[in-house]
Amino acid sequence: KDWDYELIDMLGYPRKMFQKLIMPGTGIGHLSDKIREEVGFDVEVVVPATHDTGSAVLAVPANDDDFIYISSGTWSLMGIERKEADCSEKSCEMNFTNEGGYAGRFRYLKNIMGLWMIQSVRHEVNDAYSFAEICAMAEKAKDFPSRVDANDECFLSPDNMTQEVKDYCRRTGQKVPETLGEIATVIYTSLAECYAKTAKELEEMTGRTYTRIHIIGGGSNAGYLNELTAKATKKEIHAGPGEATAIGNITAQMLKAEEFKTVEEARAIIHESFGVKVHKE
């Protein structure tokens, strides 16, 4: 919960570059006179949990510790909340990180591929179809057998994502997808299997089993992917809210203003206020 000054000194950086760390929910002042005059009002500026994933995880509508979360968008941040960081060598080898959360919590998570692959494929057909339409096409092609490693570096920034998926299947001796529906079902199914693998790794690292996964952020609207994730992980999927980052940001401000007394109260209200859809295997 502070800068690693030993590492900073080893790298030769001046310590004065690194400002005082401020915890989420801290008021840091008001608008300047110039800004106040321009917008016509004054407001206290309150620090949320940062960056966007920190705010999103604050908006997870759950008040126990029996869940894994996926902050799902272009990327998927998949992990758990915990009170202490895990800086073990094994944790490092498995590519987990510890990021700050609200009220001193740690977001113990892995950054894995999200909907970037589908977004790229959609752009390659000139955004002619909505994500819902692409999901429907994928479901029609659900029996297509091929899979890819969604975290393979070849998918990070290819010249053409559609061609990269085809090439991967060809290189690995699998059936090559041809239609948009087949490409989409390969991507969605591969993502679900990646989530299942990460869930098992989290359970291995914590020595416990989790019964459900909360998917928050824009990716929570991908119903077909949510169903595949329920099937692959054999866990309940609770999808929503979609605008989790904005909700978590506002929640930190409302906690500062004592509109909510506790995080637990805030999360209970979030659960009641936004449609959370449950998917079961």
pTM of structure: 0.94
| Average pLDDT rounded to a whole number, residues 242-261 | 97
Mean of pLDDT values over 23-35: 96
pLDDT of residue 239: 98
Residue-level pLDDT at 229: 98
With bands split at pLDDT 50, 70 and 90, how would you rate the model's confidence at 281? confident
pLDDT in tens, 102-153: 999 999 999 998 999 999 999 999 999 999 999 999 999 999 999 999 999 9
Residue 51 has pLDDT above 90, yes or no: no
Q: Residue 264: pLDDT band by 50, 70, 90 thresholds?
A: very high
Segment 164-190, tens digit of pLDDT = 999 999 999 999 999 999 999 999 999
Instruction: Give the pLDDT confidence score for residue 1 in this predicted structure.
Output: 81
What are the residue boundaries of the structural domains of the chain, listed by start?
5-46, 52-281
**Residues 199-234 pLDDT 10s:** 999 999 999 999 999 999 999 999 999 999 999 999
Q: Is 9 among the residues known to form the active site?
A: no
pLDDT of residue 171: 97
In SS3 terms, the chain reads as CCCCHHHHHHHCCCHHHCCCCCCCCCEEEECCHHHHHHHCCCCEEECCCCCHHHHHHHCCCCCCCCEEEEEECCEEEEEEEECCCCCCHHHHHCCCEEEECHHHCEEEEEEEECCHHHHHHHHHCCCCCCHHHHHHHHHHCCCCCCCCCCCCHHHCCCCCHHHHHHHHHHHCCCCCCCCHHHHHHHHHHHHHHHHHHHHHHHHHHHCCCCCEEEEECHHHHCHHHHHHHHHHHCCEEEECCCCHHHHHHHHHHHHHCCCCCCHHHHHHHHHHHCCCEEECC
CATH of domain 52-281: 3.30.420.40
Which of 4, 33, 52, 143 is catalytic? The answer is 52
Asked whether 267 and 63 are in contact (CB, 8 A), the reply is yes
Q: What are the two backbone dihedrals, phi and then psi, of residue 30, each rounded to the nearest 5 degrees?
A: -120, 175
